[in-house]
Structure 1
Amino acid sequence: MNSVNSTQTGAYLHRLGAARPARPTAEALRDLHLRHLRAVPFENLSIHLGEEIVLEEKWLVDKVVGAGRGGFCYELNGAFSALLTALGFEVTLLAGRVYGDQGRLGIPYDHLALRVGTVDGGEWLADVGFGAHSHYPLAFAERGEQADPGGTFRITGAGPDAAGAGRETGAMVGDLDVLRDGRPQYRLEVRPRVLGDFTAGAWWHSTSPSSHFTQSLVCSRVTEDGGRITLSGRTLTVTEAGGAREVRELERDEEVLEVYRERFGIALDRVPAVRKPRNAHPNG
């Protein structure tokens, strides 16, 4: 049962700058997906501000709407799922494992993505929580290349030869690999999940010294021209849609806080700093 009421739904849509769609169509999903990427940043600030991360729909929507914040995959796709369900879309939570160095897969429940059904008969892979990824949902059943402003994407059946050498074997029947510009991004299970299934993954990413989220700060979103703006610690990077990039270091705390406020809509009373992970097993 969806826990987002009509008032919260309206406030969520207001943050996205979107009108309530008349019907849960593929076109409406495309519009909401892009608006989400532009308005709600991918960020891991809670980890370094000592804020609790709770994987419950109401909590996540309150964070995105009430607190004007973003989050990482579990939070962003969890909140987006609640919004889409309230708008009449058919949403299934899926678990993924992210590809790292040398093609190694991450931990189970490493990533949360969404399978979304629309009234016009389509099924889509929606993912507003992977950082740099597709700007629009990907056709779930399509196995050819899918062009997108974020790159060329492909969904393939998982297996040792599905995406070239350097792959891990042991895929379950039905597992899928999501590729961007020919490189595997994550392996996706097709079995339906619930939000609580991802609690251990969120805890690991929030506490383990082996998690890249505990090692660095990031706040990033798609810009209105299709580029990207990212604040990583004190390094501000603005990338245009054509690929031109400007990088500069922010020396004063006031500059950092202003960028969070003006470019990401996040009001902070202090500059976040990477904290040493606590309560984590020494081996991650």
Structure 2
Amino acid sequence: MSESIDLAAYLRRIAHADAVAPQWSTLRALAIAHVAAIPFENLNPLLGLPVDLELAALQRKLVQDGRGGYCFEQNLLFAAVLRTIGFEVSGLIARVLWTRPEDAVTPQTHMLLRVELAGESWLVDVGFGGQNLVGALRLQADIEQATPLEPFRLVQMDGDWRMQSLVRGQWLSLYRFDLRPVPLIDYIVANHYVSTHPDSVFVNNLIAARTTSDGRLGLRNREFTVRRMGREPERRTLGSVAEIRQTLEQQFLIRLPAHPQLDQRLDSLPDNIPV
């Protein structure tokens, strides 16, 4: 994959006007701005369209066309941005545990990034969706680390690392992973599964998420949820295609694709996502 990226266009996309350099303040600021500006969304798999992981395609979709994407798209783009700035970045792969038992055996279908900076290792992840990490975590086990939203931590268990967030007083695991760098081909294979397999959640359901300065926005088929820190979640069922389109455009900042079957696909969505 070519690492040539239009950094200026990316920075405009995420509304980051400050100077950038391979330092902690830039890493944190970009990670926060990215998840606020570029939404998590799976419209391509939902519409039966390919998910192209080539950097030119990622820039066109996520930067130029005003779209979002899921973990492989988001984190491959972010990795290219960081490398262009001068960061040392490697990709990792994880097994998702969110909403599942701690001992669940799940496939490796999630991407995250490890960044080396001033002799320390950090983790960033701009592609997990509804419970996205906001900012960066020091790669250190068993310490609570503050973020602009919930506290996060890393724990080691059964030879793996686990990313956890504190939700309503309970530490919940997002995913488990190891520290072996992953070649692009492994992401290509995992991406093919999650974007095309008939049992994939991304093929059968609409999912969108965006992080704001004070909370999280989520859409699961027709259920739109606003979670603000310290308050009960606000949930609303979207009844019509017009409501779904308006929510995707106004709340998730998605420039919807001009696809002939988009309205039909949105109209066929169930009230909520199967567990």
CA change 1:56–1:20 in 2 (3 A) is farther
Task: Note if contact 1:214-1:275 (Cα within 8 Å) is conserved in structure 2.
Answer: no
Pick one of 168, 186, 189 that aligns with 2:175.
186
TM-score with structure 1 setting the length: 0.82
Q: 1:234: which partner in 2?
A: 222
Q: Secondary structure at the match of 2:163?
A: strand
Distance 1:215 1:106 in 2: 18
Q: 1:168: which partner in 2?
A: none
Task: Note if contact 1:93-1:192 (Cα within 8 Å) is conserved in structure 2.
Answer: yes
Q: 2:250: which partner in 1?
A: 262
Distance 1:184 1:127 in 2: 14
Pick one of 17, 21, 24 that aligns with 1:23.
21
Q: 1:155: which partner in 2?
A: 154
TM-score with structure 2 setting the length: 0.85
**Matching residue's letter, 2:245:** L
Show the 5 A alignment for 1:180-219.
180-181=165-166, 182-219=171-208
TM-fit CA distance, 1:30: 0.6
CA RMSD of aligned residues (A): 2.2
TM-fit CA distance, 1:2: 4.9
CA change 1:38–1:53 in 2 (3 A) is same
Aligned length: 257
Q: 2:8: which partner in 1?
A: 10
Q: 1:280: which partner in 2?
A: none
Task: Note if contact 1:155-1:177 (Cα within 8 Å) is conserved in structure 2.
Answer: yes
TM-fit CA distance, 1:65: 0.5
TM-fit CA distance, 1:142: 4.6
TM-fit CA distance, 1:73: 0.8
Task: Note if contact 2:141-2:156 (Cα within 8 Å) is conserved in structure 1.
Answer: no
Identity of aligned residues (%): 35
Task: Note if contact 2:155-2:162 (Cα within 8 Å) is conserved in structure 1.
Answer: yes
**Matching residue's letter, 1:91:** V
Distance 1:151 1:105 in 2: 26
**Matching residue's letter, 2:113:** L
Q: 1:122: which partner in 2?
A: 120
Q: Secondary structure at the match of 1:201?
A: helix
For structure 2, which runs of at least 5 residues remain unmatched after alignment?
270-275
Listed one character per residue, the Cα deviations across residues 214-273 of structure 1 (whole Å, up to 9, x for unaligned) are: 33211110123x211223223322222223332223333233222222222222244343
CA change 1:115–1:274 in 2 (3 A) is farther
Q: Secondary structure at the match of 1:68?
A: coil
Distance 2:185 2:94 in 1: 15
Distance 2:90 2:119 in 1: 15
